Amino acid sequence: MQKRENWGTKLGIIFAVAGSAVGLGNFLRFPGQVCQNGGGAFMIPYFISFLLLGIPLCWIEWTMGRYGGKYSHGSLPGILDAVVKKPWAKYVGVLGLFVPLVIFFYYTYIESWCLSYSFFSLFGSYKQIAEPTEMKTFLNDFRGLLPSSNYGLAYTFFLATFIINMVVIYRGLSKGIEFLCKIAMPILVIGAAILVVRILTLGTPMPDKPGQNVYNALGFMWNPDFGALKNPKVWMAAAGQIFFTLSVGLGAIMTYASYLRKKDDVALSSLTACSMNGFMEVILGGSLVIPAAFLFFGAVGAQEMAKSGFDLGFVTMPCILNRIPWGELFGFFWFFLLFLAGVTSSISLMQPLISFLEDEFGWSRQRSATALGIVCFIASHFCIFGLASGVLDEFDFWGGTLAITICAFIEVIVFVFYFGIKRGWEELHSGADVKYPEFLKYVFYITPIYLGAIILYWALFSWAPWILKPFGLDLSIDWSTKFPFLAFDFAMIKPQFVILFTRLGLVWLLAFLLFLIWFAWRRKKVGKVKI
Amino acid sequence: MTTLGWIILVISWGAIIALSVFCFYKILKVKKDNIHAPLDIDTGDLEEESDKEHNP
């Protein structure tokens, strides 16, 4: 039987899991969400979601992951098979393969933008650009979205990023992932802290606008608007932020935990990884982009920028960094930090699939990494060249928004109803370095209800409009005043064929993964792979 | 920055810092029997038959 890998140190897996969680969302998504959802008041639903959703989901993934590792399963199909012990369970686990694979297809491309911008910053490629509109044009030109632009540079950086990822993955758990995360995570913390100090010591950078000072910038971010808490959207935004920031539902945490020994701690390690992610998000992420945007563009400009998502990082920040002394160097820092945050996340995306091939097919890591590398390299091209057509957004919706949420919900249901809360609580505390108060186990009754409510809300207000949009059906209406299907105007239907073909491709991918699961278990049944 | 803004900031930062300090204090203060001896650490590079209990 092929021997499974193990982590070298306890800090190694904590850094690896935290690295998986800490990504672009900590620095770009979180501050935007705070700003748009009641400022400091947003932290109330944020912490409630952290306690009722984030931490329990992490406990579940760590506990079930280590449990699956005892049976030599590191990916969701095998883990669900070991827990549920029913033939259908492994097929439900297909989402634990589908989600990280689809996200990996586009994530490395976005990651490569960070790498390229760190070089652009260092060599002053966008030094002469001061206004966000021009910076947006620069970004679009780089990504090949303008008629006059080409993909050459973006593609070169994508290749470099892809190779870096593959080298780390190829080197293995301890020598690759753990080694990188143990270096990258401290650099990430220190580098982000240096940037925070730089931003918070800018004082009043524009003397002609004395109101745009650091004091007011912090106020813009943190002054609470408690009236916003009456809006359910704010609560959903907080739950969504917690859900996506902790990288739950990906299967990556489970896979990482499966490489623990059976008496290794998961109770404290999972909480530590959560706290590291929170530190990076609330303290460092919350003190960078939005306060900086306020300093240079004022309240109105910063409010607009908060809605712009990734443009905060690639449009707003370069404009700001261009205006401060040593901007090139700090720009390099900023984008390299985003790149590091991205790499530590993307390498975790590959691990569930590698584990699946190793554990269920008996393949070596090198063989698994090579096969997956080829598949991912080919599929990434759809995102690169289909960016203008919305292929990347489509991958992000199906993999990184819908399937990931359903996958997390399945994990919670399996934990609560098949693993059992009592047994799960005992498993969580097996070999634990910390003992949680007994009453905390009742949170597992709340988590599935909480997550179920979020799924229902998103399905109605976000997913349904997105799914129907390529068919030409616009559901983005105010549901409080009009019942949705009454708004259908079939004469207006204009199908977007690129998007529909992308969806067809994703269905084929899902079917292929289901076939692989069936084939793997069939092989085991006839004794070709020993378990 | 209003007083309420400061209160929220201090509580939020304080909660996160306190949780992080607690976790890392516990991690670094871990009992000796929970620390693996060097020979118990498997990097996956060796094809030894040991440690079977972890791979039943």
Cβ contact (<8 Å) for B54 and A172?
no
Give B25→chain A minimum CA distance, Å: 10
| A531 within domain boundaries | no
Please report the pLDDT score of residue A383 as a whole number: 92
| A1 within domain boundaries | no
CA atoms within 13 Å, Cβ hemisphere of A439: 0
Please report the pLDDT score of residue A18 as a whole number: 86
Give A174→chain B minimum CA distance, Å: 6
Mean pLDDT by 10 residues, chain A (531 residues): 75 85 86 91 95 95 94 94 94 95 94 94 88 90 85 92 94 86 89 90 88 92 93 89 88 92 90 93 91 90 81 87 86 89 90 94 93 96 90 90 92 94 94 92 94 91 84 59 52 72 95 96 77 49
Per-residue pLDDT at B35 exceeds 80: no
Residues of B in contact with A431 (CB under 8 A): 34
Per-residue pLDDT at B52 exceeds 80: no
| A3 within domain boundaries | no
Helix (H, G, I), strand (E, B) or coil at A477: coil
Whole-number Å distance between alpha carbons of A49 and A64: 21
Please report the pLDDT score of residue A489 as a whole number: 56
Q: Which of A72, A218, A274 sits opposite B1 (nearest CB)?
A: A218
Whole-number Å distance between alpha carbons of A142 and A134: 12
| A507 within domain boundaries | yes
Q: Which of A6, A174, A272 sits opposite B23 (nearest CB)?
A: A272
Please report the pLDDT score of residue A476 as a whole number: 55
| Phi, then psi, of A372 in degrees rounded to 5 | -65, -35
Per-residue pLDDT at B33 exceeds 70: no
Please report the pLDDT score of residue B50 as a whole number: 45
User: Residue B20: closest CA among chain A residues belongs to which residue?
Assistant: A275
3-state helix, strand and coil shares in percent for chain B, rounded to the nearest 5: 60, 0, 40
Give yes or no for a contact between A315 and A131, defined as CB atoms under 8 angstroms apart: no
Give yes or no for a contact between A74 and A355, defined as CB atoms under 8 angstroms apart: yes
Per-residue pLDDT at B56 exceeds 60: no
A126: CATH: 1.10.4160
Give A141→chain B minimum CA distance, Å: 39
A vs B: CB pairs below 8 A:
118
Residues of A in contact with B19 (CB under 8 A): 271, 274-275, 278
Six-digit token pair at A339? 């790149």
Give B39→chain A minimum CA distance, Å: 11
Give yes or no for a contact between A97 and A307, defined as CB atoms under 8 angstroms apart: no
User: Residue A40: closest CA among chain B residues belongs to which residue?
Assistant: B8
Residues of B in contact with A265 (CB under 8 A): 30, 34
Whole-number Å distance between alpha carbons of A152 and A207: 41
Three-state secondary structure string covering A447-508: HHHHHHHHHHHHHHHHHHHHHHHHHCCCCCCCCCCCCHHHHCCHHHCCCCHHHHHHHHHHHH
Spell out the residues 6+ positions from residue A344 whose beta carbon is closer than 8 angstroms to its own: A16, A19, A20, A22, A23, A180, A181, A184, A185, A188
Residues of B in contact with A11 (CB under 8 A): 27
Q: Which of A216, A221, A193 is nearest to A43 (CA)?
A: A221
Per-residue pLDDT at B54 exceeds 50: no
Residues of B in contact with A215 (CB under 8 A): 1
Indicate the angle between helix axes A404-413 and A232-245, nearest 10 degrees.
Answer: 80
Please report the pLDDT score of residue A2 as a whole number: 63
| A345 within domain boundaries | yes
| Banded model confidence at residue B43, pLDDT cuts 50, 70, 90 | low
Six-digit token pair at A66? 């280590």
Q: Which one-letter amino acid corresponds to residue B23?
A: C
Q: How far is CA A126 from CA A311, A312, A320, in A?
A: 15, 16, 12
Look at chain A and report how many structural domains it folds into: 1
Cβ contact (<8 Å) for A47 and B51?
no
Q: Which domain holds residue A168?
A: 10-525
Spell out the residues 6+ positions from residue B11 whose beta carbon is closer than 8 angstroms to its own: A43
Helix (H, G, I), strand (E, B) or coil at A504: helix
| Contact residues, chain B to chain A, C-beta under 8 Å | 1-2, 4-6, 8-9, 11-13, 15-17, 19-20, 22-24, 26-27, 30-31, 34-36, 41-45, 47-48, 51, 53-56
Whole-number Å distance between alpha carbons of A382 and A395: 10
Six-digit token pair at A196? 């925070």
Q: Which of A261, A277, A359, A529 to mutate: most B Cβ within 10 Å?
A: A261
Residues of B in contact with A4 (CB under 8 A): 44, 54-55
| Phi, then psi, of A150 in degrees rounded to 5 | -130, 170
| Banded model confidence at residue B49, pLDDT cuts 50, 70, 90 | very low
Length of chain A: 531
Three-state secondary structure string covering A174-240: HHHHHHHHHHHHHHHHHHHHHHHHHHHCCCCCCCCCCCCCHHHHHHHHHCCCHHHHHCHHHHHHHHH
User: Residue A359: closest CA among chain B residues belongs to which residue?
Assistant: B55
The ipTM estimated for the assembled molecules is 0.86
Give A346→chain B minimum CA distance, Å: 21
Report the predicted TM-score, pTM, of the whole model to 2 decimal places.
Answer: 0.88
| A319 within domain boundaries | yes
| A455 within domain boundaries | yes
Please report the pLDDT score of residue A90 as a whole number: 95
| A530 within domain boundaries | no
Cβ contact (<8 Å) for A3 and B1?
no
Residues of A in contact with B13 (CB under 8 A): 282-283
